[in-house]
């Protein structure tokens, strides 16, 4: 159990109440919770799962000393396996382990894990090549952790999309990441459920998903006692000016019902002060690696932007 509060007296009384009813031991300040290490530094906190990465590599990739500097090989195009499955059970076990790692402290793995997990039921040798590369990238970045500082004490988001990333079903990929204190607090990479007819539409769908997450985060902050009130709008950065223009326009002249609904939702979030939308250049959009494979320079830069750095 992890007890968090802004009132030391209340925390002590809560501990006393629990001790009177249950057989429990006070472990002091938390250093590990749910397999995530909490490291305190002079400037803030670091969340790391380097020990969990070691377990994954020892169990699923022993003896391999090679490393990769990017999680995805941009020249590799994966598709469904029409033949016989290759080590399906082992493949699914690795995906499960990587999903937990990605969900807790490693947003840089989100796109690769999302992409490879689509073939869990029937992996081929090509899918295993992608998995091996991801494990080698994990070895290269095994000591990465999320570094949180006191500033900036504001939540901001980044949204991106990759139009028709899957040529087999014409589905685009959405990605968003929200940061606080210089590091990521929420992120997602997923294949869009609807077919976007243009880059603008795919970016608009991704912006809608980011808006939903921003609304939830803002409602969560309402319950944080020491968070400054009233809450300011959460700024979402997008690298598509046409999608921003569509979102900020009071009129929607498209024929698509699903796009009209998304337009109304985003307009409501803007008008009620939940979010604002700002333009960011693609090279500065840290959500970019959540939608596609990129070069090692861009992967490194975006990881730093998400607060992912080696442990000192």
pLDDT tens, N- to C-terminus, the chain (312 residues): 888 877 889 999 999 999 999 998 888 888 888 889 999 998 899 999 999 999 999 999 998 899 999 999 988 888 888 999 999 999 999 999 999 999 999 999 999 999 999 999 999 999 999 999 999 999 999 999 999 998 888 999 999 998 875 556 668 899 999 999 999 999 999 988 877 778 888 888 899 999 999 999 999 999 887 888 889 999 999 999 988 988 888 766 555 666 778 788 888 899 999 999 999 999 999 999 999 999 999 999 999 999 999 987
Euclidean distance between CA atoms 191 and 36, whole angstroms: 28
pTM here? Answer: 0.90
H helix or E strand, kind and range, residue 171 = strand 171-180
Euclidean distance between CA atoms 47 and 171, whole angstroms: 34
Residue 32, strand partner residues: 37
């Amino acid at each position: 159990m992890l007890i968090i509060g802004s009132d030391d007296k209340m925390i002590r009384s809560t501990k006393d109440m629990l001790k009177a009813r249950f057989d429990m031991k006070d472990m002091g300040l938390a250093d590990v919770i749910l397999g995530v290490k909490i490291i305190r530094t002079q400037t803030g906190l670091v969340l790391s799962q380097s020990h969990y990465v070691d377990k994954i590599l020892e169990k699923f990739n022993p003896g391999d000393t090679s490393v990769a500097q990017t999680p995805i090989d941009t020249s590799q195009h994966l598709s469904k396996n029409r033949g016989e499955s290759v080590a399906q059970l082992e493949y699914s076990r690795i995906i499960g382990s990587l999903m937990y790692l990605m969900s807790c402290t490693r947003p840089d793995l989100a796109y690769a894990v999302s992409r490879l997990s689509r073939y869990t039921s029937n992996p081929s040798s090509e899918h295993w090549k992608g998995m091996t590369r991801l494990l080698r990238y994990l070895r290269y970045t095994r000591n990465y952790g999320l570094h949180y500082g006191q500033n900036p004490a504001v939540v901001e988001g980044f949204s991106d999309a990759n139009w028709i990333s899957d040529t087999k079903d014409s589905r685009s990929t959405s990605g968003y990441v929200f940061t606080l204190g210089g590091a990521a607090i929420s992120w997602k990479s997923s294949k869009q459920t609807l077919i976007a007819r243009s880059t603008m539409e795919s970016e608009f769908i991704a912006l809608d998903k980011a808006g939903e997450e921003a609304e939830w985060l803002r409602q969560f902050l309402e319950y944080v006692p020491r968070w400054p009130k009233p809450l300011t709008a959460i700024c979402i950065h997008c690298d598509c000016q046409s999608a921003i223009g569509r979102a900020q326009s009071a009129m929607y002249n498209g024929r698509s019902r699903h796009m009209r609904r998304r337009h109304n939702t985003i307009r409501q979030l803007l008008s009620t002060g939940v979010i604002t939308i700002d333009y960011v250049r693609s090279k500065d959009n840290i959500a970019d690696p959540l939608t596609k494979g990129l070069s090692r320079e861009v992967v490194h830069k975006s990881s730093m932007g998400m607060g992912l750095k080696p442990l000192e």
